[in-house]
Structure 1
Amino acid sequence: MSRGTDEATRAFAEGEERWPRFAEAAGALAFVSVHALPLRLRERVIGALNLFCSSPEPLGEEDVRVGQALADVATIGILAQRSREQADLVTTQLQTALNSRISIEQAKGVIAERHRIKLDEAFTILRRHARDNNLRMSDLARDVANGSPLPTRDETLAARAVDHPETSPAPDLWPVHPPDHSRVIRATRTSG
């Protein structure tokens, strides 16, 4: 069938040694021969339509034409379904990638704000923490964005020292607590 041409009728008796259970089951249903028609679109063969017959004679020309028409319609349906499944898969993968990217960007922002660092440094911290702890980056990012504990100060310092040694602050200059932006300091001007 890989040639894409219809195969001659085969009597099940010829296949008893090769496919004994199949030949027995077909015989129990009064089928004595099979004719295979290719499921193809142009040169692409995707399978075969098997016509089971209760007579050992070959199919007539008209029966082969009708059978091939059914095979052609089945081919179109199968390929359309495959195409739709592929499109759905690509859409799902793209949506997942977009959702992951959004979580990663949010987590970078949280880490950068809390540790007063640049976004690229926050990404390095996030990536290193995921690798060192065998975590999926998207899962870690989602957790951080949703309020889970951030990588520790030591993890942050280590990542910064390795990836950006020229901008790494001395440990004693590092903020111990995240900045508190809830208070606003107001300066008043006095005349004097």
Structure 2
Amino acid sequence: MDVQVVEGRFVEVPTADARGMDRRAFGEFTGPQGELASYAVGWTTGTDQHVGRLSVGIGAGNPGGATIHAVVLDNGDGYAFSLIDEPFEQVPEGGPDLTAQQARDHEDLPFMWWVADHAFARDRRAWWLRHWLLQTNCLQTPEVFEMREPVLRVGHGEDGTFHLAGTTAPGSDGKFGHLSHAIDEDHSLLDVLDLEPGQSAVRSHPGAPWTLQL
């Protein structure tokens, strides 16, 4: 049995001051031996603190069951996890909330980090969080950048840059914007964030399925 990551509910609400959005995504993990875990990831836009949040829980109702909590930090070209005391979310498979020190002492901490790594590798909402955290740029046609056209074509360049275009063909006047902001406006872009460099995907209109082009 392979590792399975199943995306669960997604909650998105404005912050109390209406300056940003609070986003939380939940999911379930099953390991190759049937090990069960739950996780939650989240982030809040429009705040000075540019970090993500993570909770991973195992062993609900069993001795040794626990939930760890961490922040997700920009680590140069990637991200890093750092344990915290403050609970972030309750997850179905979780046990008691652990402080950072209790988590470090827990024998199953390596497994819970393994769950977190798989969640960030396979959950599309975690990809969104990562691009927000790293402030990933993408090259957009002026029409898409100014939201005069919807995104109908997404390409992943050999240099790693994402390219977004609408009905107007890309030219030399492209504009750089944050990929996470484009996803803010169109959540269906989550379906094509796993394009390999050199691949592209197109659709006929917003809401239509994406077609992969090699």
Say which structure is richer in strand. 2
Say which structure is richer in helix. 1
Who wins on radius of gyration, i.e. which is larger?
1
TM-score in same-fold range (> 0.5): no
Superposition TM-score, scaled by structure 1 size: 0.23
Superposition TM-score, scaled by structure 2 size: 0.21
